[in-house]
Amino acid sequence: MAAANQVVERCITDLQDVEFDDDGLPDPDLADGSFVYEEFPPRHRYAYNLAFFRNTMVTAVKVAYDLANPGGEPAACTAEEIIRQAIGELALQLCELAGLEQPWLHPEEYFLEDLDFEALYEQDMDGIEDDPGLQARLGIDVSPVEHWFSPFNDTSIVHPYTETTPEEHVLHDLVARFSKASDMRALDTADVVDSPAPLTTMAPGSDVVALARQAATGTAPDLWVPNSSDPESSYTALLTACDRSDGGSGWMTWEPFADADTVRTEAVVSLTPHRHFPVDDDEPWIWAAIGRGRLLAIPLRVVVSYRPDSEVGRRWNTGADLFGPEE
């Protein structure tokens, strides 16, 4: 707890020593040695204003309380993860100064459930926090700076002083519709998701998808492009295309998130089409594993094209890189 208390005291001192202008921006020279500037991702310093410093101090107090409580909850937001990591590193330093042996496990193994937030510090990951599609491909989840003090989910509790509810890009993943376990079980029920009931539509879900489909149509004999004028025949053609590769591996072009204003071609390790989605609006969809990420339930309305390629599956099985563009 000594490390946690030192972090709290440092945050309080920073608020006393750092000067802020009328717009809430800190004097960069005075802020340079602050906890916020030293521990939070440097590329977002433009957002580290007076409110951010205050939120960090309050969050540090909340983290210290959680760590002192045997029944304390895990980190509830990105800011808590960053503060927990800083406390862990300081704890190791204090142990070394006191001549104590290093613990068997690194403190972050006690304090943190994952290290996804470390992508915020990597130069080659600049912008990933605003790109849920890329996060899905890499199998990580990071938030934009405006969301660092917001709870991860409905069961996460942050300090009420810091809580924010900003708008953020929403990944095209129909699993987000689920509210109970029975919803997920319905996805494994063939009589539901593959019922012979007529397909609803394959119309593009945005102008970007519509234009991309138009440009892709007829460009390659093995390229499947949804045909909204004949959904049944188009769906049958997709099934046939998937059968041409192991597990449906290949290349998919899609709009990764709402209002993306662009489409992206990515390697899919597996792709399985289904006729109906059991929750909310009925629509055809696919189970797809993009890169090394988790399975996504992607509506066909955001899919531009699919090309089967067994080489993608083979590369995945051998651990080869999947993240390069389609050749």
- C-alpha span between 156 and 277 (Å, rounded): 28
Q: What is the pLDDT of residue 295?
A: 86
The DSSP symbol for 164 reads -
pLDDT by residue, tens only, the chain of 327 residues:
789 999 999 999 999 999 999 999 999 999 999 999 999 999 999 999 999 999 999 999 999 999 988 887 889 999 999 999 999 888 888 877 777 766 545 556 557 888 899 999 998 899 888 888 888 878 888 989 999 999 987 788 899 999 776 566 678 899 877 766 566 677 777 788 999 999 989 999 999 999 999 999 988 999 999 999 999 999 999 999 999 998 999 999 999 988 888 899 999 999 999 999 988 889 999 999 987 777 899 999 999 999 999 999 998 888 777 655 444
In DSSP terms, 254 is beta-bridged to 264, 303
Domain ranges of the chain: 2-147, 174-318
- C-alpha span between 326 and 315 (Å, rounded): 13
Q: What is the pLDDT of residue 180?
A: 60
pTM metric for this prediction? 0.66
Q: What is the pLDDT of residue 31?
A: 96
Residue 257's nearest CA partner among 128, 125, 154, 126 is 128
The structure tokens listed for 232 are 């049944």
Q: What is the pLDDT of residue 325?
A: 47
